[in-house]
């Protein structure tokens, strides 16, 4: 039996499997595309990371049962699909150490990945792994620091020791809500920044969106019971800086396509689109002032264009910072 199972063979799940394998751990990697997994078994490559050869101590399996044998599972499943997966396979996941490796807010329930799992599996040790990271960097072995959040201090320390590698440094926190919100909300602001650059509004406008977007992230996080210092760390400010400044970010690229009017590949998972809608709904329900997040929600719904969104933001009443 291997030490660790990774469920989800997209770019991020595969990159995490590679990082763990390079640290000398035996890994089982499962992906839902049976044909792609079969090809990967032969070529030791996956479509999302075509330039990377998978280490031999990664077992590529199209059979979920083999992954469920392991006590620690990294769940690299899109946020909007996570609840369905956990509900369907709850009997196999009870009592295990489960680490959510996605960033988003469930559109129907309005909660994050770790809380989603906790709501279904009360006996599981649940954590979330989040922070500033691109899959390609992790897969190449480039230095990366992430946040690992779990409510159970003992389980958290054990997971930190188990998952840290020489090039993947994990910082721990018990503030699960803060870690969830930081990772989810920065995706929304990245869409706004992408749209800003795509529309030609310039770097100064992007800096303003990042700064005021960070204020909105903190406003919502405080309302939801998160610690302010969590949002100022890797899972909030760190991830915000990375995704708002780089075209490697899927969320930034979606925003850029909206800004330029170009098409965007609908098969690419962009967590921030659904999160913007979910958080906009939360803001309305709770009476929170979240103008940038609300504008992004309207943009991804196709209700307004970028110029209109900017005009509405600039027309807001003047106030103290």
Number of structural domains in the chain: 2
Name the residue range of residue 58's domain.
4-174
pLDDT tens readout for residues 203-257:
999 999 999 999 999 999 999 999 989 999 999 999 999 999 999 999 999 999 9
What pLDDT is stored for residue 195 in this prediction?
97
Do 298 and 194 sit in the same domain of this protein?
yes
Do 144 and 202 sit in the same domain of this protein?
no
Measured at the alpha carbon of residue 167, what is the angle toward residues 165 and 170, in degrees to the nearest 5? 60
* Catalytic residue from among 42, 186, 284, 319: 186
Confidence bin at 319 (pLDDT 50/70/90): confident
The Cα 18–Cα 24 span in angstroms is 10
Q: What's the token pair of residue 267?
A: 């098969």
Greater model confidence, 3 or 25: 25
Q: What is the CATH number of the domain that holds 304?
A: 1.10.1040.10
Mean pLDDT of the chain: 95
Do 79 and 96 sit in the same domain of this protein?
yes
**140 among known catalytic residues:** no
Do 169 and 184 sit in the same domain of this protein?
no
Neighbour tally for 224: CB within 10 Å: 17
Do 123 and 231 sit in the same domain of this protein?
no
Q: Does residue 320 form part of some domain?
A: no
- Is the pTM higher than 0.75? The answer reads yes
For the cut 50, the answer to whether the pLDDT of residue 1 exceeds it is: no
Q: Is 212 exposed, middle or buried (0-12, 13-18, 19+ CB in 10 A)?
A: middle
Do 147 and 115 sit in the same domain of this protein?
yes
What pLDDT is stored for residue 318 in this prediction?
86
Q: Does residue 154 form part of some domain?
A: yes
Q: Does residue 213 form part of some domain?
A: yes
Boundary-marking domain end, from 133, 148, 174: 174
What pLDDT is stored for residue 38 in this prediction?
87
Q: What is the CATH number of the domain that holds 141?
A: 3.40.50.720
Do 231 and 93 sit in the same domain of this protein?
no
Boundary-marking domain end, from 174, 208, 229: 174
Q: Does residue 321 form part of some domain?
A: no
Q: Is 231 exposed, middle or buried (0-12, 13-18, 19+ CB in 10 A)?
A: buried
Q: Does residue 319 form part of some domain?
A: no
3-state secondary structure 121-181: CCCCEEEEEECCCCHHHHHHCCCEEEEEEECCHHHHHHHHHHHCCCCEEEEEECCHHHHHH
Do 191 and 255 sit in the same domain of this protein?
yes
Do 196 and 94 sit in the same domain of this protein?
no
Do 100 and 189 sit in the same domain of this protein?
no
Do 110 and 154 sit in the same domain of this protein?
yes
Strand-pair category, 72-75 with 97-100: parallel
Confidence bin at 2 (pLDDT 50/70/90): low
The Cα 146–Cα 117 span in angstroms is 20
Do 170 and 182 sit in the same domain of this protein?
no
Boundary-marking domain end, from 174, 192, 220: 174
pLDDT tens readout for residues 69-100:
999 999 999 999 999 999 999 999 999 999 99
């Amino acid at each position: 039996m291997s030490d660790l199972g990774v469920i989800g063979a997209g770019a991020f799940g595969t990159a995490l499997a590679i990082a763990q394998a390079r640290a000398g751990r035996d890994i089982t990697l499962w992906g839902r595309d049976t044909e792609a997994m079969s090809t990967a078994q032969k070529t030791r490559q996956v479509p999302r990371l075509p330039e990377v050869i998978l280490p031999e101590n990664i077992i590529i399996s199209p059979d979920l049962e083999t992954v469920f044998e392991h006590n620690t599972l990294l769940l690299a499943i899109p946020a909007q699909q996570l609840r369905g997966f956990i509900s369907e396979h709850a009997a196999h996941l009870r009592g295990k150490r489960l680490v959510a490796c996605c960033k988003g807010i469930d559109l129907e329930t309005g909660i994050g990945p770790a809380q989603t799992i906790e709501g279904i599996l009360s006996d599981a040790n649940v954590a979330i792994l989040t922070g500033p990271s691109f899959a390609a960097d992790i897969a190449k072995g480039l230095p990366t620091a992430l946040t690992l959040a779990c409510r159970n201090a003992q389980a958290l320390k054990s997971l930190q020791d188990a998952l840290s590698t020489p090039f993947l440094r994990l910082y721990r926190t018990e503030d699960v809500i803060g870690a969830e919100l930081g990772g989810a909300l920065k995706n929304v602001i990245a869409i706004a920044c992408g749209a800003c650059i795509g529309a030609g509004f310039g770097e100064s406008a992007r800096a303003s969106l990042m700064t005021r977007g960070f204020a909105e992230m903190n406003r919502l996080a405080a309302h939801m019971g998160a610690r302010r210092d969590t949002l100022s760390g890797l899972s909030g400010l760190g991830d915000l800086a990375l995704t708002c400044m780089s075209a490697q970010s899927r969320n930034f690229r979606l925003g850029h396509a909206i800004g330029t009017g170009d098409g965007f590949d609908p098969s690419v998972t962009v967590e921030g689109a659904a999160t913007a809608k979910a958080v906009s709904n939360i803001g309305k329900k709770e009476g929170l002032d979240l103008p940038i997040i609300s504008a992004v929600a309207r943009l991804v719904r196709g209700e307004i264009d970028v110029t209109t969104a900017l005009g509405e933001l600039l027309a807001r009443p003047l106030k103290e910072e």
